[in-house]
Structure 1
Amino acid sequence: MFEKKDSRVKSAAATNLSFLYYLENEFAQASSYADLAVNSDRYNPSALTNKGNTVFANGDYEKAAEFYKEALRNDSSCLTYKKLNRLDEALDSFLKLHAILRNSAQVLCQIANVYELMEDPNQAIEWLMQLISVVPTDSQALSKLGELYDSEGDKSQAFQYYYESYRYFPSNIEVIEWLGAYYIDTQFCEKAIQYFERASLIQPTQVKWQLMVASCFRRSGNYQKALDTYKEIHRKFPENVECK
C-alpha cells in the first residue's frame, strides 16, 4: 500500500519497517527497507540513521559514520528549537543525536550551550568537560569553561582553563585581558605585563593595553619603566588624557 503513496509517505513507512526489523535483529530486511526509505526521501534523517545502524551492525563503521553525519546535517529540528528558544525540545533532540554520535564535538558543544542558555552552569560544565576529552586543544571550549567557572566564583579553576586556552590560541583578546586582570588581582603585576604587551601587539591602535602595561610597571614599583612607557604612549597618542 505504501509503495503507491507519494515519496514522503513511502519513506516514513519504510523507515518504521526498517526500525522494527532492526529491533528484531533481521538486519537484511532492515537494510532493504532503509534503502527504500532513503531512496524515497534522501533528506529523511531517521531513514539515514536506520541505514547507518544496519551498516554499523555489519561492521562497516566508516560508512555508518557517513550516514550518521548526513542524518545530523539534515535534521534541522535541534537548531530550530534552539532558535525558537524551545530549549527543552532542543535539548531532547541533541541528546538523541548524542546517543547516535557519541563523540561528535558539534553535538557536545550544542548540548553544553543549551544548558548554559537554561542557566544550568553545572551541567554546561559537565558537557564541556566531555567535549575537551574529545578535542582537548579546542581553545574556545577551554575559554568557555574558564568563563563558567569564573561566573561560579571559582577563580582557580577559571585560571586553569583560561591559561590552557591561551596556550593553544594566544591571540584571543578576551582571554588575554582576563589573565592580565587575574594577575593584577592576585598582586602579580609583573606577570600581568606580558599579557598586556601581547594585547598591544595584537591591537596596536588600542591605547588601553599600553596604559595597562605602564600601570603594571607603576604598581610593581618600577617607576622609571612606568615613566618611560607613559612617555612613549604620549608620543604615539598625544591627545590621550589618561596618559597626560
Structure 2
Amino acid sequence: MWVHLYDPHDPYEPPAPYSLIYKDRPYDGEIAYADSALANFVAYIKKQGWYENSVVIVVGDHGEGLGEHHENTHGIFLYDSTTHVPLIVKLPGRNSSKTVSEQVRTTDILPTVLDILRVPLPARLDGESLKPYFADTKNVERTALGETDYPLRFGWAPLRSVRQEGFKFIEAPRPELYNLKADPGELQNVYQPWDQSVRKYREILTAVRAKSPPAAPSAGTVGKGTLDELKALGYLGPADAGSSTNVPEPSLLPDPKDKIEEQNLLHSAMMASEDNRSDDARRSLEKVLQLDLKSPTALRQLGELELRAGDYSKAAEHLKHAREVSPTDATAAFYEGQALQKVGNLAGARDALEASLKLMPGQFPARLLLGEVYLGLKDTAAAEDQFEAAQLLQPESEEAQLGSAKVKIASGRFKDAVEQLKPLSKSHPNNAETFELLAQAYRGIGKNEDAQNAETRAILLREKRAKP
C-alpha cells in the first residue's frame, strides 16, 4: 500500500486544532496534522493485527525552502533545505531501533523492500538495498545525486548536484560547492573549477548523463562557434570550458539563483489565481514583468488571466508577447487564438491556432476552435478538415459532430447534415444546438414541418435551461 500525505504544501492551512496550536507556524501545523493522520493509519493496522509483520517506510519527498536561499517553496534549488528528507524504516518482527547517521538515498527504498521480501532484484536499479545498515555495523555513506529540470519551465537553467563525503556540488551556470560539515546552511560557496573534488563530482555527473537517453539540444546551449569566439575574446579562461578543467558546455539560460524572486512571485500569482484572487495574481505578475519584461511565464499567465476576465484585447496582447519570447509555446498560441477569435480577428486566430497545432497536433480544443474559425472565414473545406481531425481524436464528441454538421449546412449539403444530426438528436436529446441545426438542415431540403418541430424543441430546451 502507498499513501501520499499531500497536506504540507502551500497554502499552509492546517485544520483545527493544529491551526490554533501552530498559528504562528502554519507549515509546522501541516506537518503535525500529517503526523496525526499517519498515527491513525498505524493505529488501524495495529488493530487489524497487520503491523507486527509489516514493512512500514515513511519518507519525505522533499522539504520546503521557507525563505532559505530566498526560495519560498521548493522545486527550483537543490539545497538541503528541500532535498534532505527524513527516512524511517520499520522492519517485520523488530522492536528495537537505531539511528543511521550515514547518508543514504530515497532511490534505495525499492531495492530495500524487494530485498526484505526476498524478491529478485531487477538487473538495473538506481539504488541499493539498505539491509547492510540494519545491523550494528559501520557502513559507508552513499553518493546522493540531485537534479531539477523545473527551472526549464520558466526558461532558466536546470541544476544537477552531487552530495558526497560531507560536500555538496551543484552544477549551474554559476557552480557551487559547499563543505556541509563546516557550513550546513550552504551559505559559503567554495567552488574553484580546478579543485580535484570538483573534477571528481563532474565526472560522476558526466557518467550519469552518459547512461541517460540523449536529450535534444537546448535553445540556451552555447554552440561551438560561440565558444571559440568567447575564448578568443578572453571571456572563457582557465576556470571555464575547454581549459584544464572538465566544466561542461556552458548555458546561456539564466541561473535560477538570479531568478528566485521572480519564481516566488509567479508562485504567489498561481496560488492567488487558484483562489480566484485575480487582482492579487495580476499584481504579482506585473511585478515579475518589472524584473523581466520578457518573462514568458508571466506574459502567458497574464494573458490567461485577462482571457478569463473577458478582456480579450489585453489577453491577445500579452499572449502575442509571450509567443515572441517563447515561439515554441503551443499553449500560449492556443490562448492567443481564443482571444483573437473573441475580438473578431479571425485571420489572426487562424494563424495562432495553426501555429499551436503545428507544435502540438493532438489538441482537441484547438481543432474544434480552428474549425469554427475557418467556418467564420467561409473556408468550409478547411473547417471540415479540422472537425474530422477532432473526431479522430475523440470519436464520440458531440461538439466535433455538430461542427461537422455546421460545415455540411454551410456548404449546402443539407441532406447529409440531416443524416448526421437525426441520430445525434436521439443520443443527446437535451442539446438545443443540435435541434437548431437540424431545423436549418430540414429547411434546406424543404421539410418545413420537421424544421418547425425541431425549432420548437430547441426553444423549449433553451427556456428550460434559462430557468433558475
Normalised by the size of structure 1, how large is the TM-score?
0.57
Contact kept? 1:68, 1:101, Cα under 8 Å:
no
Q: 1:162, CA displacement in angstroms?
A: 2.1
Q: 1:104 to 1:153 in 2, by over 3 A?
A: same
Q: 1:97 to 1:68 in 2, by over 3 A?
A: farther
Other structure's SS at 1:103 match: coil
Q: 1:73 to 1:205 in 2, by over 3 A?
A: same
CA–CA separation in structure 2 for the residues paired with 1:45 and 1:99: 19
RMSD over aligned CA atoms reads: 4.1
Q: Which of the numbers 334, 337, 347 marks the counterpart of 1:146?
A: 337
**Structure 1 residues 203-237: Cα deviation after superposition (integer angstroms, max 9, x where no partner):** 1233664575466457546789x49xx59x98xx9
Q: 1:194 to 1:81 in 2, by over 3 A?
A: closer
Contact kept? 1:91, 1:111, Cα under 8 Å:
yes
Q: 1:189 to 1:93 in 2, by over 3 A?
A: closer
Q: Which of the numbers 98, 107, 110 marks the counterpart of 2:301?
A: 110
Contact kept? 2:346, 2:377, Cα under 8 Å:
no
**Structure 1 residues 83-108: Cα deviation after superposition (integer angstroms, max 9, x where no partner):** 44443443232222223344332222
Which segments of 5 or more consecutive residues in structure 2 lack a partner in the other structure?
Answer: 1-65, 73-173, 175-234, 236-249, 439-468
Contact kept? 2:304, 2:335, Cα under 8 Å:
no
Which segments of 5 or more consecutive residues in structure 1 lack a partner in the other structure?
Answer: 1-39, 47-54
Q: 1:132, CA displacement in angstroms?
A: 0.2
Paired position in structure 1 for 2:391 = 200
Paired position in structure 2 for 1:9 = none
CA–CA separation in structure 1 for the residues paired with 2:317 and 2:399: 36
CA–CA separation in structure 2 for the residues paired with 1:77 and 1:207: 38
**Structure 1 residues 28-55: Cα deviation after superposition (integer angstroms, max 9, x where no partner):** xxxxxxxxxxxx9515359xxxxxxxx8
CA–CA separation in structure 1 for the residues paired with 2:313 and 2:338: 12
Task: Tell me the percent identity.
Answer: 22
Contact kept? 2:299, 2:321, Cα under 8 Å:
yes
Q: 1:99 to 1:45 in 2, by over 3 A?
A: farther
CA–CA separation in structure 2 for the residues paired with 1:90 and 1:136: 24
Other structure's SS at 1:204 match: coil
Q: 1:136 to 1:88 in 2, by over 3 A?
A: same
Q: Does 1:173 align with 2:199?
A: no
Q: Which of the numbers 33, 38, 42 marks the counterpart of 2:68?
A: 42
Contact kept? 2:349, 2:373, Cα under 8 Å:
no
Greater helix content: 1
Task: Answer with 1 or 2: which has the greater Rg.
Answer: 2
Q: Which of the numbers 157, 182, 188 marks the counterpart of 2:379?
A: 188
Contact kept? 1:162, 1:175, Cα under 8 Å:
yes
**Structure 1 residues 57-107: Cα deviation after superposition (integer angstroms, max 9, x where no partner):** xx9996963213334444543334434444344323222222334433222
Q: Does 1:70 align with 2:96?
A: no
Letter in 2 for 1:87: S
Other structure's SS at 1:153 match: coil
Other structure's SS at 1:113 match: helix
Q: 1:217 to 1:96 in 2, by over 3 A?
A: closer
Greater strand content: 2
Q: Aligned runs of 1:1-244 on 2, under 5 Å?
A: 41-44=67-70, 65-75=255-265, 76-206=267-397, 209=400, 213=404, 216=407, 220=411, 226=416
Instruction: Count how many residue pairs are aligned between Structure 1 and Structure 2.
Output: 189
